[in-house]
Amino acid sequence: ARLVVLVSGSGSNLQALLDAAADPAYGATVVAVGADRDGIAGLDRAAAAGVPTFVDSVKAYPTRDDWDAALTAHVAEHKPDLIISAGFLKLVGKRFLTSFGDRYVNTHNALLPAFPGIHGPRDALAYGVKIAGATLFFVDAGVDTGPIIAQVSVPVLDDDTEETLTERIKEAERRQLVEYVGRLVRDGWTITDRKVSIP
């Protein structure tokens, strides 16, 4: 299966997928990596693995809709079976969702529906929850609202800082991402009334 991965930052989730895909038994290959900005480690990781990259910066297009069209076209060129937002910090538009909404997944560093948005671990810590975690879900038109594929929990420790909690979550998040992307591409899935099932 063909994976396109979208990144905006360090790309540690991307790296986990690249490492997993090195084994043919995994059943998927990262065929391209897209970003919304230059100069990020995620793009370097792709280049180091010999994976083609593209950058579509919102600023490079006259309107958000033009950006969405360009991103959609660039992703489509690679004929993906699954598209993975792995720390991609942009909300895609209608066109992207119309083209790929049935196979665009995102990993979020909180246990949704709690703590959506870009500060999952910080918000969880500030709230005082005792269990945090990560959620893999199919992206819909909302912010972190789509059908949930899998969740993994980690404890919040008394002496946690935003950094230590973020790291603990990311470690579990990467394992979950690799496991479930593999299962999705190998076994397929159905979504009925928001319930995702993998046979």
**Site for ligand GRF, rule CB under 6 A:** 7, 9-14, 42, 86-87, 107-109, 170, 173
177 annotated as ligand-binding: no
11 annotated as ligand-binding: yes
Q: Is 108 a catalytic residue?
A: yes
Residue placing its CB nearer to ligand GRF in the complex, 72 or 135: 135
Min. distance of Cβ 42 from ligand GRF in angstroms?
6
Cβ atoms of 150 and 180 within 8 Å: the answer is yes
Min. distance of Cβ 49 from ligand GRF in angstroms?
14
Min. distance of Cβ 199 from ligand GRF in angstroms?
27
Secondary structure (DSSP) of the chain: -EEEEEESS--HHHHHHHHHHTSGGG--EEEEEEESSSS-HHHHHHHHTT--EEE--GGGSSSHHHHHHHHHHHHHHT--SEEEESS--S---HHHHHHHTTSEEEEESS-TTSS-STTHHHHHHHHT-SEEEEEEEE--SSSS-SPEEEEEEEEPPTT--HHHHHHHHHHHHHHHHHHHHHHHHHH--EEETTEEE--
Residue placing its CB nearer to ligand GRF in the complex, 13 or 99: 13
109 annotated as ligand-binding: no
Q: Which residue, judged by CB position, is nearest to ligand GRF in the bound state?
A: 87
Residue placing its CB nearer to ligand GRF in the complex, 66 or 171: 171
90 annotated as ligand-binding: yes
Residues at the binding site for (6R)-10-formyltetrahydrofolate are 64, 89-92, 106
Residues at the binding site are 11-13, 64, 89-92, 106
Catalytic center residues: 108
